[in-house]
Structure 1
Amino acid sequence: MKNNFKTFMSEIPQNLFSGFVVSLIALPLGLGLALASGAPPISGIIAAIIGGSVVALLGGSNVTITGPGNGLVVVILAAITTLGAGDMHQGFLYTLAAIVVSGIIMIILGFLRLGSLGDFFPSSAIQGMLAAIGIGIFAKQVHVMLGNLNAKGSIVELVLKTPQGLYNYVTTNSQSTLYAGAVGIISLLIMIFYGKIRNKYFQLIPAPMWIVMLSVGMFYYFDMFSSNAYPIDPKLLINIPDDVVSNFNFPDFGKIYQTEFISAVISITLIASIESLLSIKAVDKLDPLKRRSNVNKDIRALGLATLISGFLGGLNVVTVIARSSVNVNNKGSNRSANFFHASFLVIFILLFASELRKIPLSALAAILVYTGYKLASPENIAKVFKIGKEQLLIFLITLLTTITTSLITGILVGIFATFVIHIVINKNLSLFTRNLLKPNVLMFKEDGKYYVSVKNFSSFINYTRLKAKLDQIPENEDAIIDFTLCDFVDHSVMENLNNYAESFKRKGGYFEVIGLDSHNSTSEHPFALRKNIPTKNESSVKTNLTKRQKSLQQISNELGWKYQSLPAKEVSKIPEFGYFKTRQINKVSNILSNENCTLFDIEFHEGELFAKQIIKATMLHINLGENAPEFTLDKEGIFEYIYHFTGFKDVTIENHPDFSKRFYLTGKNENEIKSFFTDDLILFFKSNKYYHIEANNQGLLIIGKERLAGIKEIKSMADFGLRLMNIICTNKLVTTSN
């Protein structure tokens, strides 16, 4: 405890500096986001101050920054417009009440531990929703950036009016509009080219703060050095009350039972929760110490901050990724940076309010235009398309529905569209309806590794079951996730599995996904969805290797072996072993081989009709080059004792009682078996991992668990086979020379 406190105190200087840098960005963004939402500018700053203070004290994350978020701009603006019925101020008061209720709901969600609900939304649908939010921000703010505060209409109408807005600006006779638009355009250019300027001193000040400084500097130029009056009309400047403390707005609960109020509450809560959950997950990946946030605790703190902010006239409080990433980049290491960022905002508002009133609205609008573009950039669309054409379809359906209707409708349609597309891809509705409520995840510990088996299907609908198991595994341990029995894995699950793999790697653990080698993917992207395909069609459909297959290819290169994802000719030796007398081989794949050893995955089934069970396993075949005695070697156990009573005899090796006690060895010719099992061979089996081993005149068949092996297990099996082959060959040479 003392060490933790000492560490906290020693890191205060770096968190103080980081909080200051973040506040330089949060100040213009808070003002701009409030204006874009149709709310008083100070409401955005209130949200940042309350959020930074409350979440810093009560939150469950480490390096996140909280305040007003981009995603809520469209929602808050719609709520104010709808609830006010033309009266924006009264609409804002009603919206404050909706924000308060939203905060209460988020607190309840946190106590109910429903932070995992964020995993229920399909990734591509969320991307479509965020892009729609970006278009909504761009559509409104591009006109404000050009000095026009009167542009009205829906998102689509405002986007279509953009060329006309540019033409009107170029041909305007208004000096105020001309100067305001010039400030907006220059501010946008600063946002665009800021990252391309590599001067370390220039980079000390964030781009939004450069815009603020230049905007205020322009005012003082006209005030102190120019004979002309300041050209921008006061109505195009930020309006902050003279006495901030005495000018709080308070919520009006007069419409609390009306449908549009309830709709506003649902929209605000939904978007605030999604934006926060996504941001928390993303920022955890940026944390240099790789700590995992307590999401439910954070949601409760965000809810309380939102409740207080709403009562004092502020906007919703969410976790924001852009400001959080700035915090990480400036070595913010704990929640105190969030608190310091809020403290500096208080200082700015109390001491520099008069300077803030000199900032043109067009400058803040330019910051938001750039933000909106980044959310809906063509690069994001291209990334979605690379994952799969069906993901682009989900993305576009969600985007178009959202910008033409509402965010709630958009995300609901996106979820429904994703589900329908999954049914179409699988051509099987019953796969989902029959297995939706069934447990589909089994986890156990085996040989020091955590083994998770997933069956039927794994998608955004039931991902929380898999996540609950994965969260129980320490990230410094080994975990194998097996989808052998799973017919369908969607894009959202694949993306989340990649996040787990990265997290385990950072913490020194090992995370491997297996069982997808026979699944078809819609693209070569590692996040592409996977669908199990019939064996007979595999060679004509499978076009790209999975991560596991690429690892097998790498192993074969390291060993100097050959690798084939599918056999060049029909397998003939394996069915001759006794193990497969009652088992029917369906398919052999992923073959690693040299002159004498062949390591492979095999799919076979036991039983028929209703009792039919399909099993996939990894085995090793060693070609001995000449006849070997027929025998079976296995670990001594209860079934071996049963074999004694059914006529099977355990061959006892003289002078090796411990071996005979630990292993069950049986075969037709006892003398040949005893001659084959030399002292060196017995010592080898006693000192290495147990495998089920069968021998016939075709060689040795080495069988591990009745499941696919992970990469580490395959390396271990290959090493076992090479050393076993070496001992057998050495024994042959000795026998021949004698």
Structure 2
Amino acid sequence: MEETRNSTSGFVTKLPKNIFSGFVVSLIALPLGLGLAMASEAPPISGVIAAIVGGIIVSVFGGSNVTITGPGNGLVVVLLGAITTLANGDLYQGYIATLAAIICSGALMIIIGQLRLGILSDFFPSSAIQGMLAAIGISIFAKQFHVMLANNSIQGDTISLLTDIPASILMLFKPEFNNLVIAAIVGMCSFLIMFFYGKIRNKYFRLVPAPMWIVLIAVGLSYYYELFSSEAYPIESSLLVQIPNKVFSSFPTPDFSNVLTAQFMGVVFVITLISSIESLLSTKAVDKLDPLKRRSNVNKDLTALGIASIASGFLGGLNVVTVIARSSVNVNNGGINRSSNFFHAIFLMLFVVLFQDQLRRIPLTALAAILVYTGYKLAAPRNLKDVAKIGKEQLLIFFATVIATITTNLITGIVIGILITIIIHFLINKNIMFFARNLFKPNILMFKEEVNETYFVSVKNFSTFLNYFRLKRKLDTIPENQDAVIDFSLCNFVDYTVQESLLGYQETFKRKGGSFEITGLDIHGSSSEHPLAVRSLLPFSKKIEIGSKSNLTKRQKDLQTIASDFSWRYEAKKNEDIVTLNDFLFFKIKKVNYTNNAIFDPKAVFKISDVEFSEGEFIARTSVRTTVLTIKLKEEIPKFTLDKEGLLEFVYKLAGFKDIDIPGHPDFSRRFFLIGENPEIIRSFFTDELVLFFESNPYYHVESNGRTLLLMHKERLASIKEIKALLDYGTRLESIISSTKHGEIVLKSPKIKS
């Protein structure tokens, strides 16, 4: 009961912020709703209806927290194609037939949500998705650029629309089109407002979003001609927004007459696919913006979006999706829960009811300018540059998807993008059967370690968009305030999509007090110097060597930072000089292959490094990677091995070693297994202070070969947090041992921070 009261109290106290945020979002949603509907060849008010219905229904039934819903940019091309495809020469007929398709699509989205198929969003490679969004942007730009110049007559596919842009520009200089010049100037000025708005730093000016400035200026121009000018308004009515006199009194009736035709079902499938993808990607992106870092229930959200799309379709509105741009505005203005989506819908309804006359004064060229800028942002050259940095193969996937989408359709485009990605993965690994054999095999092992309760996840074979759902399913069960280590030492190939997704987990865990560290990728070659580039055990080129300074993983960069903090050195490259390690009992029966990722002080007293060693032979042979600390001592000490009581005790006893008990310390003798060649010398070395140190600190494998100590924690690569702890433990242990003189020990303070 108390928790319910606190929840209600928190909701009420946050209400003013959510009302304000909803109002700000509505200022953007109004012109965008009108413009997106217009770009789809649907009545302008249908976009606003979708935003109103979506805001009310999804805020009640949805599973997200700070998302805003309404008509989406990605659906413009889809709905335009649907309306023209189902039109049979009559655009209004195409519109009411598309309303039926939207209703059917909504029902399909409810089924997808109820079957918990939101996971399907993880089966799309990131570069192909980026290519699809860029293609949508190009299509929007190509169509709306002509409308922005007051030329509504040009039709055709995306390529022909792009090539006709010069003709639309030249048309404005012909005398017979003088009546269109003012409308075109309004469009171009509106585009400039959108383009330069972000560069204006005046806080009062920025209280009003750029799209609303465009609406206010355009409507103000209309009133100027009506009230103060002797001349007639220079923009003809055909270039102004058309809204029914009684918006909420009569709604169009959806046409289900073609519901069983292949053409209709194809439209339903495309609308559903793109709606689902756009919503899932937007929700995933907005979750990263959520100040409370909550995770949305995407399946519940898909169900709510389906319900909203059905209601919107029956009321004459477009389908409802989650939109990232308006959602980010919501977060930036203090929106903290779903009520901001509700209030954005309420304000939109008030605008339509109270300001119908003003809405009819908005030029279509101004709305088109907003969409031209939207298209430009989706397909901006900077996006192309960002993809190129990740790797040439990602650029190929991106371009293949863009070209296929523009020349065919969205479904064909994304399918080709997926196929190109798979083929490139085959070529990089030079082994098709490797993927075929392992695609359906479980490749994730996860367990919670007892000592420090770290969640350890080992990934083997390969990890790409095809099998990422297995890894994601495991990661989603880990509390975000805990420590997790994801190890790719046994993985031959990791693609960009997986690494990009893991980056989101790292950010979430960090903000919620946990740690999420990725290990094992430093032995892989990469396709570029980008930190998220494709990683493979097969080297990509001679230019980018494994372990080179330009090819460091995040873990390696963190190791470099640790070394820099202590004015130590860091070496990423492999080192096959492993004579020192072979002197230790732990490695006597193991084959050490190499060390790498070494950090060490100028005198090489302390040295932390990753070690790869092999156990067993032939079929039973396995490779293990671990992290060790070696410490060169000032004076010789007894040779010994200290470990936790357990399995190693049994192994050592089989080898003929006996546990050495320390007199007066029964708890130590019970908890630790201590062996060595000279028991009496070892007993005298293990003074009370040294025993107390071991008893009061975490367990480590500690071994002495006389002049050097070897310390390790687990037979896996250590995380950065664990490396800092190991270094702290080692420096304190060295301080105690070095302070020993004739059996007397002086405790010193630690040298480093944990």
TM bucket, shorter chain: over 0.9
| Map of 1:589 onto structure 2 | 596
Letter in 1 for 2:697: N
Q: Tell me, yes or no, if the aligned pair for 1:184 and 1:362 is still in contact at 8 Å.
A: yes
| Map of 1:85 onto structure 2 | 88
| Structure-1 separation of matches of 2:574 and 2:589 | 23
| Map of 2:21 onto structure 1 | 18
With 667-676 and 276-285 compared, the bigger mean Cα shift is at 667-676
Deviations 1:548-604 (A, max 9, x none): 111112222333432211366723111222322321111111112233222211001
Q: Measure how far apart 1:231 and its partner are.
A: 2.2
| Structure-2 separation of matches of 1:536 and 1:319 | 42
| Map of 1:340 onto structure 2 | 343
Matched, 1:529 2:534: yes
Q: Tell me, yes or no, if the aligned pair for 1:518 and 1:538 is still in contact at 8 Å.
A: no
Letter in 1 for 2:364: L
Q: Measure how far apart 1:184 and its partner are.
A: 0.8
Q: Measure how far apart 1:626 and its partner are.
A: 5.3
With 352-361 and 196-205 compared, the bigger mean Cα shift is at 196-205
| Structure-1 separation of matches of 2:149 and 2:87 | 27
| Map of 1:237 onto structure 2 | 240
Q: Tell me, yes or no, if the aligned pair for 1:518 and 1:533 is still in contact at 8 Å.
A: no
Deviations 1:307-351 (A, max 9, x none): 111111110101111111221222122211111111121122222
Q: Tell me, yes or no, if the aligned pair for 2:36 and 2:47 is still in contact at 8 Å.
A: yes
| Map of 2:504 onto structure 1 | 499
Q: Tell me, yes or no, if the aligned pair for 1:573 and 1:698 is still in contact at 8 Å.
A: no
C-alpha spacing 1:557/1:274, structure 2 compared with 1 (3 Å): same
Q: Tell me, yes or no, if the aligned pair for 1:535 and 1:587 is still in contact at 8 Å.
A: no
Q: Measure how far apart 1:527 and its partner are.
A: 2.0
Q: Tell me, yes or no, if the aligned pair for 2:599 and 2:609 is still in contact at 8 Å.
A: yes
With 658-667 and 335-344 compared, the bigger mean Cα shift is at 658-667
Matched, 1:725 2:725: no
| Map of 1:189 onto structure 2 | 192
Q: 2:476 aligns with which of 467, 471, 475?
A: 471
| Map of 1:421 onto structure 2 | 424
| Map of 1:518 onto structure 2 | 523
Matched, 1:320 2:320: no
With 381-390 and 560-569 compared, the bigger mean Cα shift is at 560-569
| Structure-2 separation of matches of 1:540 and 1:279 | 36
C-alpha spacing 1:291/1:272, structure 2 compared with 1 (3 Å): same
| Map of 1:555 onto structure 2 | 562
List alignment gaps of at least 5 residues for structure 1: none
| Structure-1 separation of matches of 2:225 and 2:84 | 37
Q: Tell me, yes or no, if the aligned pair for 2:531 and 2:552 is still in contact at 8 Å.
A: no
C-alpha spacing 1:701/1:12, structure 2 compared with 1 (3 Å): closer
Any idea what SS the aligned residue of 1:92 has? helix
Any idea what SS the aligned residue of 1:245 has? coil
Matched, 1:166 2:169: yes
Letter in 2 for 1:26: A
With 94-103 and 550-559 compared, the bigger mean Cα shift is at 550-559
Deviations 1:159-208 (A, max 9, x none): 11111111112335223311211111111111112222222222222211
| Map of 2:60 onto structure 1 | 57
Q: Measure how far apart 1:86 and its partner are.
A: 2.3
Matched, 1:695 2:698: no
Q: 1:226 aligns with which of 211, 224, 229?
A: 229
Q: Measure how far apart 1:735 and its partner are.
A: 7.5
With 11-20 and 32-41 compared, the bigger mean Cα shift is at 11-20
C-alpha spacing 1:646/1:395, structure 2 compared with 1 (3 Å): closer
| Map of 1:448 onto structure 2 | 453
- Counting only pairs closer than 5 Å after superposition, residues 366-405 of structure 1 correspond to structure 2 as 366-405=369-408
Q: Measure how far apart 1:525 and its partner are.
A: 2.2
Q: Tell me, yes or no, if the aligned pair for 2:576 and 2:595 is still in contact at 8 Å.
A: no
| Structure-2 separation of matches of 1:176 and 1:627 | 97
| Structure-1 separation of matches of 2:725 and 2:615 | 27
| Map of 1:69 onto structure 2 | 72
Deviations 1:123-157 (A, max 9, x none): 11111000000001011110011111110110011
| Map of 2:662 onto structure 1 | 653
Letter in 1 for 2:337: N
Any idea what SS the aligned residue of 1:650 has? coil
Q: 2:201 aligns with which of 192, 198, 201?
A: 198
Matched, 1:461 2:466: yes
Deviations 1:649-681 (A, max 9, x none): 222222222222222222222233223323322
Deviations 1:56-99 (A, max 9, x none): 11111121111000000000000111111322111111111111
| Map of 1:681 onto structure 2 | 690
Letter in 1 for 2:556: Q
With 52-61 and 594-603 compared, the bigger mean Cα shift is at 594-603
Letter in 1 for 2:521: L
Q: 1:43 aligns with which of 46, 51, 54?
A: 46
Q: Tell me, yes or no, if the aligned pair for 1:241 and 1:247 is still in contact at 8 Å.
A: no
Q: Measure how far apart 1:535 and its partner are.
A: 14
With 333-342 and 32-41 compared, the bigger mean Cα shift is at 333-342
Q: 1:573 aligns with which of 580, 601, 612?
A: 580
Deviations 1:378-436 (A, max 9, x none): 11111111111211111111111101100000011111111111111122222321111
Matched, 1:618 2:621: no
Q: Tell me, yes or no, if the aligned pair for 1:56 and 1:339 is still in contact at 8 Å.
A: yes
Letter in 1 for 2:327: S
Any idea what SS the aligned residue of 1:138 has? helix
| Map of 2:612 onto structure 1 | 603
Any idea what SS the aligned residue of 2:176 has? coil
| Structure-2 separation of matches of 1:483 and 1:155 | 43
Any idea what SS the aligned residue of 1:586 has? strand
| Structure-1 separation of matches of 2:516 and 2:126 | 22
- Counting only pairs closer than 5 Å after superposition, residues 295-334 of structure 1 correspond to structure 2 as 295-334=298-337
With 533-542 and 388-397 compared, the bigger mean Cα shift is at 533-542
Q: Measure how far apart 1:537 and its partner are.
A: 8.8
| Map of 2:722 onto structure 1 | 713
- TM-score under structure 2 length normalisation: 0.94
| Structure-2 separation of matches of 1:534 and 1:74 | 41
C-alpha spacing 1:644/1:542, structure 2 compared with 1 (3 Å): closer
Deviations 1:284-316 (A, max 9, x none): 222222222111111111110001111111101
Q: Tell me, yes or no, if the aligned pair for 1:119 and 1:463 is still in contact at 8 Å.
A: yes
- TM-score under structure 1 length normalisation: 0.96
Q: Measure how far apart 1:608 and its partner are.
A: 2.0
Letter in 1 for 2:668: F
Any idea what SS the aligned residue of 2:248 has? helix
Letter in 2 for 1:151: I
Matched, 1:364 2:385: no
Cα root mean square deviation, aligned: 2.1
List alignment gaps of at least 5 residues for structure 2: 747-754
| Structure-1 separation of matches of 2:541 and 2:377 | 45
C-alpha spacing 1:200/1:642, structure 2 compared with 1 (3 Å): closer
| Structure-2 separation of matches of 1:383 and 1:534 | 23
With 697-706 and 534-543 compared, the bigger mean Cα shift is at 534-543
Aligned-pair identity (%): 59
Q: 1:152 aligns with which of 152, 155, 162?
A: 155
| Structure-1 separation of matches of 2:219 and 2:680 | 99
Letter in 1 for 2:625: K
Q: Measure how far apart 1:221 and its partner are.
A: 2.1
Q: Measure how far apart 1:369 and its partner are.
A: 0.5
